[in-house]
Amino acid sequence: MSEIRAILLDLEHTTTPLAFVHEVLFSYAREHVREFLENNVSSENVLEDIALLTEDHVADVMSGETPPELSDVESVAAYVQWLIERDRKSTGLKSLQGKIWRQGYMDGSLRAQVYADVAPAFERWKKKGWSIGIFSSGSVLAQKLLFAHTEAGDLSRLIDHYFDTNVGKKGEAESYRRIAASMKVKTEEVLFVSDVVLELDAAREAGMKTLLSIRPGNPVQERAAEFKAIESFEEI
């Protein structure tokens, strides 16, 4: 641990309960997407998201799936809801969701949940001089909003870097090499914590040190015994 200069964290089941993401955030996006699109469809950023979603739709149809047809704002909303139900890791979807959640955080409808050990750990790691980064399939915007509006207060002041799938897939070693370069540290100076073994595999292949996050309700991971595990950030 004396070699560590930065810590990189997964989000779901590592810093944040999965139930908050799936039951609160996803539900909010499903319920508000139509209204949001109707009010913001002329926005350039929203049009960019719709263009990405259109590409996803073409790929879905070509792969034999039967998503709702795209023709107007209402049909785009229906397709977004279809993607959310399938927990699709779509860049366009994640970007649009982030914009919808921003509305909820700003008006006080949303307040993010993090595990009780997160805020104290962030403070402790900063005192050590560690750089803190987040790597999630959710957009950077969504990550920043979540940590700025937690029940424990604004934790964004303690986070130095945010990464989403624009840096690469979470299961590919090259993504973690890019992250280390962006954090301006060597891969072996980064500790990556996640609840997903395949992500830990990729990070370890890139040269990072790894810890398996065991939180209440986490799905059982095959090959979990191959990784050092923690049940709380108090152990780091």
Q: Decide if 6-16+113-235 and 21-106 have a common fold.
A: no
pLDDT tens digits for range 169-187: 999 999 999 999 999 999 9
pLDDT tens digits for range 113-156: 999 999 999 999 999 999 999 999 888 999 999 999 999 999 99
Cα-Cα-Cα-Cα dihedral sign, residues 164, 188, 196, 57: positive
| Count of residues making up the chain | 236
Q: How far is CA 12 from CA 1, 20, 148, 187, in A?
A: 24, 9, 16, 23
CATH of domain 6-16+113-235: 3.40.50.1000
The amino acid that residue 36 corresponds to is: F
Q: For the chain, which residues make up each domain, given as ranges? A: 6-16+113-235, 21-106
Q: Looking at domain 21-106, which of 1.10.3720.10, 2.102.10.10, 3.30.1370.10, 1.10.720.60 is its CATH number?
A: 1.10.720.60
pLDDT tens digits for range 177-234: 999 999 999 999 999 999 999 999 999 999 999 999 999 887 777 888 899 999 999 9
In contact, 165 and 93? CB cutoff 8 Å: no
